[in-house]
Amino acid sequence: MPVYEYKCTKCDKKFEVMQKITEDPLTVCSSCGGVLKKLITNTSFVLKGSGWYVTDYPSSDRGKEKKAEKPAGESKDTKSEPKTEPKTEPKKEAVNA
């Protein structure tokens, strides 16, 4: 859920509120009853979890781990042959004379 920042026009109190996008903005200060103004602030972007970046930006250690996981028969120098499709002859149409 997004976090919005508000400022009271009467007591100048600033605070943040976590609200759904579909919720109406707050209008009354809970401290003094003054009018609230919704502020435009920098977005806070938080990534939670562990290892979210491992697949996107692998470290040199991650590269070493991947090499260790490869079967013994595979190496960098071994290239798989590209698949080729059989060539077909274009059909010739008979010309009626």
Domain assignment of residue 10, yes or no: yes
Q: What is the pLDDT of residue 41?
A: 80
Q: Where are the beta strands (DSSP E) in the chain?
A: 3-8, 14-18, 36-39
| Residue numbers of the domain that contains 27 | 3-39
Q: What is the pLDDT of residue 3?
A: 87
Domain assignment of residue 75, yes or no: no
| pLDDT, tens digit, 9 for 90 and up, residues 62-87 | 666 667 776 655 555 555 566 666 66
- pLDDT profile of the chain (97 residues), mean per 10: 91 93 93 93 69 59 67 57 66 65
Q: What is the DSSP string of 78-92?
A: --PPPP-PPP-PPPP
Domain assignment of residue 25, yes or no: yes
Model pTM score: 0.44
Q: Token digits for 82? A: 């590209």
The DSSP secondary-structure symbol of 52 reads T
Domain assignment of residue 23, yes or no: yes
- Tokens 């602030």 -> residue: 41
Rg of the chain over CA atoms, in angstroms? 32
Domain assignment of residue 15, yes or no: yes
Count how many domains the chain has. 1
